[in-house]
């Protein structure tokens, strides 16, 4: 890295030289500091994932956010057959069926809910409608996968927990920054294998580009999206619980603000929170300040600190110049490694289909899914 013609190594050595002069030492006696040590590069070797033969039939109800396309892709990779599509807005249906020309357009939500052959329903409907829809889905004997945030109030959370316990159906929230990011999936494997010792803390950063001219009206209304911590930080809460292996957790502090969008008084563009679990600690920061000069919507990062090393993930971009996304760096007592994760399999969709068929919890434990939602809802409620 260079600043005004001075490189980092030169700056440090120069600073050492100045200190030595004060101490009466000659420059030749100053030890040279190597700040450009080798970084070993390795690559995950994996076979390209193939679409499995259909094992379940699923449907889509509501597609207000384009995350629905990655939700569908994950389930289809795992062996899901898209049978029905429904939304109240015919324009949304037309756009969806143009991009995903599979499945029949249903005449109503009830046509899907009353069909006994449909085993799973996916939705990215407006956030405050996701939990009520999920409750109806479970009450009709079907499993459910919502886009995040899957729940926007503590009252909704209580109802989801009650109905899920009664029906024993799956209520899954697709925390895509972990489940659909190849470097994060690989990091989970490394942490479970003990690569950095016992996890002490996670730091999750979730910056986003606000894209003023493309957002629907509900985007600017906290009552509809639940607040910035409820919305974006749900990804980071999920990752905190997963990497620290915490099964209980509490919010220590939280704050939110609308710093730069006074024309939208019901919006929040900055938030952060401190959390503590029975497996570790976490710091989370989210915002809507990604500048237009970045080549992607946000420089999402995750740092996992362990007793014997740390992992850093640059989820969407490496601004140092490596192409693509899903960049993983691992530092331990022996070396620094960069791991190319382009061939890392994404198991969530296949595991979820397995769970639908086998009544298991291999994709994501139900308690974990809802605890991540609980943390951000409590943080949102406590936020200064």
Kindly report, residue by residue over 265-279, the tens digit of the pLDDT: 999 999 999 999 999
Regions in the chain scoring below 70 on pLDDT: 1-37, 47-50
CATH 3.40.50.720 residue ranges of the chain are 56-174
Q: What pTM did the predictor assign?
A: 0.88
Class of domain 178-347 (CATH, top level): alpha beta
Which positions ≥6 away from 325 have C-beta within 8 Å?
A: 181, 182, 183, 296, 314, 315, 316, 317
Contacts 24+ apart (CB under 8 A), 108-111: 109/61, 109/136, 111/84, 111/86
Q: What is the CA radius of gyration of the chain?
A: 23
Task: Please give the pLDDT value at position 23.
Answer: 39
Give per-residue pLDDT as tens, 83-104: 999 999 999 999 999 999 999 9
Q: How far is CA 67 from the centre of its chain?
A: 12
pLDDT at 118: 98
The per-residue pLDDT for 49 is 67
Residues of the chain with CATH 3.30.360.10: 178-347
Q: What is the CATH number of domain 56-174?
A: 3.40.50.720
């Amino acid at each position: 890295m260079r600043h005004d013609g001075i490189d980092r190594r030169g700056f440090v050595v120069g600073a050492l030289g100045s200190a030595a002069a004060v101490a009466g030492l000659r420059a030749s006696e100053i030890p040279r500091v190597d700040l450009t040590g080798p970084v070993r590069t390795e690559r995950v070797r994996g076979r390209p994932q193939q679409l499995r033969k259909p094992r379940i039939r699923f449907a889509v109800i509501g597609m207000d956010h384009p995350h629905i396309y990655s939700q569908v892709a994950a389930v289809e990779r795992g062996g899901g057959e898209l049978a029905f599509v429904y939304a109240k807005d015919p324009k949304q249906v037309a756009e969806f069926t143009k991009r995903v020309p599979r499945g029949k357009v249903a005449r109503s939500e009830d046509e899907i809910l009353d069909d006994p052959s449909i085993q799973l329903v996916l939705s990215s409907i407006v956030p405050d409608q996701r939990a009520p829809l999920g409750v109806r889905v479970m009450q009709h004997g079907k499993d459910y996968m919502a886009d995040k945030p899957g729940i926007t109030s503590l009252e909704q959370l209580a109802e989801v927990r009650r109905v899920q316990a009664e029906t024993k159906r799956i209520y899954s929230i697709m925390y895509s920054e972990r489940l659909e990011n190849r470097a994060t999936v690989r990091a989970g494997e490394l942490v479970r294998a003990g690569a950095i010792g016992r996890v002490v803390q996670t730091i999750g950063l979730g910056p986003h580009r606000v894209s003023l001219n493309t957002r629907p009206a509900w985007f600017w209304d906290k009552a509809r999206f639940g607040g910035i911590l409820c919305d974006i930080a749900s990804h980071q809460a999920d990752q905190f619980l997963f990497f620290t292996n915490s099964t209980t957790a509490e919010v220590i502090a939280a704050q939110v603000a609308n710093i730069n969008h006074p024309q939208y008084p019901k919006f929040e563009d900055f938030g952060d929170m401190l959390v503590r679990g029975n497996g570790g600690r976490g710091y989370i920061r989210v915002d809507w300040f990604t500048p237009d000069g970045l080549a992607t919507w946000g420089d999402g990062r995750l740092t996992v600190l362990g007793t014997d090393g740390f992992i850093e993930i640059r989820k969407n971009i490496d601004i140092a110049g490596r192409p693509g996304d899903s960049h993983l760096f691992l530092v331990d007592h022996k070396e620094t490694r960069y791991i190319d994760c382009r061939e890392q399999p994404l198991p969530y969709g296949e595991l979820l289909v397995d769970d639908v068929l086998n009544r298991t919890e291999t994709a994501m434990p139900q308690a974990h899914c809802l605890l991540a939602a609980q943390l951000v809802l409590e943080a949102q409620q406590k936020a200064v």
